[in-house]
Structures are given as structure tokens and as C-alpha cells.
Structure 1
Amino acid sequence: MDLAFERRGTGAPLILIHGIGHHWQAWLPVMDRLAATRTVIALDLPGFGDSPGLPAGTPYTAESLADAVESFCALLGVREPAVAGNSLGGYLALELASRGVVRSAVAFSPAGFWSRSEYVYARTLLRALRATARALPPERSARLAESPAARALSAGLLVAHPSRLAPTALAAATQALAAAPGFEQTLESFDGLMPPAPPKTPITIAWGEHDRLLLRRQAVRAARWSGERVKLLTGCGHVPMSDDPELVARVILEGA
């Protein structure tokens, strides 16, 4: 499938996958660090960012989105890349590892390890964030992003340090969340989502110490599923790339 993407660097291929409602620019804080030793390809999932939606009649599910990423890699001629993902992207990274089509996978706060009540909590927060984003005209979103107080209020659920998130990045992320045509169907598909099959390739799971969306106790279930100790990202939230770019890049490169 033809997806929007950004490619940087040279070396072994590394695919980066964003979370629900986000876009490839979520990875900007770490891309140049990774691109020093890897060919880094950050993509927009179907129905998010600048990528087209899935073909008519194809439902938005974790499986269909993973199929799209796998098809995208084949289209680029990228075989068995390393992959890293955040939230929904983390789940997709683990799903691709379970299929054995990637060399390794790193998942930051992956979806799918929640209890029923934790899922309802996350779904409610995501819908609230989406409704807020859709209610804001782009110019007002940009103005609010310049305010430290507004930035803390709007981004505090997703990052531990809103002050480290560039206002332009926050405004762009808000507009991407508001505009994503794949958001609602993808969110609905999370109902009943279970962890993927056991991985066939090496994986790393990391969780933000201050994750307020997918609470860090879910890391215990992820550890049981994987049989591996989950790395705790000190001082980081659900989307850790702007909280501590150096730490996130190091975890990715070690896992890859």
C-alpha cells in the first residue's frame, strides 16, 4: 500500500509507526539520532496524517493496519526491517514480530494489554481529545499551543513534559488528530483487542513511568505475555519521544 512517509539516513532499515490519531512527525525528536546509523522510515498509517484511507470495504483493525505496513514495506523493497512503534504503533510492531516479517520490534506503551475498565478509560480519554481537537480551528489551535498553560492542559495526558513539546509540533498533532478519517473505526476496533500471538523475532517493550493513558501497570501483563522484563522509561509519558529523545533512541537502537 502506498503510504505517506519520511526517509532519513543510511544503513539497515528501521520502520517507525505512530499511535492512533498521530502522524509520522511524532518521531521527529528522535529521527536524526536514529538516522546516524540506520535508514529510518517514519510512516503515516492508512487514514492518518497524509496517507490515504484503507480501500473501500476494508475495516480498520490492528490486523488490517499491520497488513498495510507489511504491504508498504514490500512496495519499498524493504525486507525484514527493524520496527518500532508507540501505542497502536507498538501493538502493530508486536503483531509484525508475531508474523516473523520483521527482524526485531520495539514497542513503547503498546495497546492491547489493558483490562476492560482500563480500555474504557483510555477510549473515553481518546474520544475527549479527538472532540477537543475537532472543535478548535487551526489558527486557534496554533495560538493555544504557544501558551505554556494551555500546552500543559492539552498535552499533559500524553507527555510527561509538555514544555519540551514544540508549539508547532503540538498544533500539527492536534490538527492531525482532528482530521484523521481512520480514527473512529480504529478506536472501535480496539474493543476486545487481545495481545498478538507469541513473537517469532526479538522484541523489546518499554513503558513510560508517567503514562497517563495506558497506565503503567499494564506493563506487568506485557511482561507476562512476552516473558521479558519491560523497560521503564523514567520521566516519560505515553508518547515518550519528546520527553527524552536520547533515551528513546537508545532503547530503539539497542532493540534493533
Structure 2
Amino acid sequence: MRGHSTFAVFHSCFSSEVLPEGIYQLYLKEIITDLHEEFPDSSFLAFNFREGEKRSQFAGILCEYDVTVMDYPRQYEGCPLLPLSLIRHFLRVSESWLYLGNSQNVVLFHCDRGSWLVLAFVLAGFLVYRKLHSGERKTLEMVYKEGPKKDCDVIKIDIQCLVQGDGVLECVHLDLDPEREVMMFRAMFNTAFIRSNILMLNSENLDILWDSKARFPKGFRAEVLFGDVETRSPSKAPAAILNGEEHGGLPIEAFSRVQELFGGVDWVDSSNDATLWLLK
């Protein structure tokens, strides 16, 4: 006989926003306090998909509130997946935990930044394994749709550079410290092979650091437009206004942000033997 399944996913996993350290600690403490009040007779087991090898901050905070935490890696050999042995271990542990304590135990799901893909895969497997959803692919797509949705800004940069023959295009990100450069992507080309004065590049055509592939969404695209020398605009580009600030040198134009609203998806069956909480 299958027991009552109560599990919860932390709301922060569905957001691309990074909470400041102090706010993050307060966020976790308030949620755990509310859970203990809502389920006074329950014990909690939290699965966390962490970044790095060290004990996560999430585990340190929850252990103070008598919550058992199991840290799992967020990748295996560079891929956002877990070995089959770890997935089987997760499913067996979660099932055993839900059967203990007269079916009053609660399972919590959390992931560190950049670990959503692993959490989504494991959560979909959990739903199918517990027979809360049917259809592996359908369940996986449903969970992925609930993942973080980032704003999409279209940025135009007028480089004003004469090129002929072999060329290298490199995009770097200047962090808060202007002296620190983070390489985003790089592409090599030859102008002899450019057709219609346009070079279309997607994530598969770019040289990307092995640990930064998660930064690029599936539909990421870069377009390099070339003009004839005779029609080249003046060498000094005018300043542009972006978000109320003046930027000299390279003009940048930001267009309206594209946001996709969450769809009204039923996470679990409407039966009484399963309960899902979204922890905000």
C-alpha cells in the first residue's frame, strides 16, 4: 500500500534571481519555521543539488533546525545529469523516508544556482516513480517548463572595425570589478566565406568554456553584420542611452524584455494521496 506523499520544492529554485547571503539565510529560516508549525509531527529530509564539493550553505542552515540534508552533485563529468547509481539511490532513500513515521514524513527539494537541470530531471523521475504522473517525457517537459525564465535582452554593438581575411570575435563580460574579464564566447571566421554580409552563430558554432555552457539558453544566437567599406559610418560612434545611463564608445540598444509567463500546469494528480508544496 502506498503511503501519503508530501513533498515540497523551494520557490527559489524556480527563480533566476540570486538572493543576497543575508536574505537567503532569512528566507530559509522562515520557511523551515513555517514547515515545523504546519507539520509538527513530521520529520524532514531535504535533497540538495549543490555547486562544488564543499558542504552547502543550505545544509548548514537546515541542520540547525533538525532537518536531515543529503547533498548531491549537480553534474557528472561536465553533464547536468547524475549517474544511474545515484538516481537509484535517491529514489530508494526518498521512498523509504516517505514510508517511515506513519507516512507523516516530508521530502524537500532544493538546488544551488545553476543546478536546476539536475533537480528537474530528478524531480520528474520522482513523480513517475511514485506514480504521481505518467509518461516520462511528458513529465520531464512539464517540470522543465516550470524552471527559471530569464529576461531576454537584444543587444546591438557597433564595433566599427575594418576586417579582411581571418578574424577572431571574442565576447567578454566585465563583472563588478572592471579589471576582471570573464570570457563568454569566441568565434573564428574568414571574410571570404561570408555570404550576404551576415554571419549567423548559435551556441554550437561558438567556443565556450566547458563550465559556462549553462549560461547560454537553447535559442541563443549571435549575428555579425558586415558592411561595405564605402558605406562605413564615421569612426567615432555616438553615445547611446541604456536604462537611463549614458554609455560612450560602443552604442548599446536594449529592446523590450521578453518574458514567458508560467503556464497553469497541474503538478500532481488531484488524488488525496499526494501533496505538493511550493515554498515561498
Structures share fold, TM-score greater than 0.5:
no
More strand by share: 2
Larger Rg: 2
Higher helix share: 1
**TM-score normalized with structure 2 length:** 0.30
TM-score w.r.t. structure 1 length? 0.31
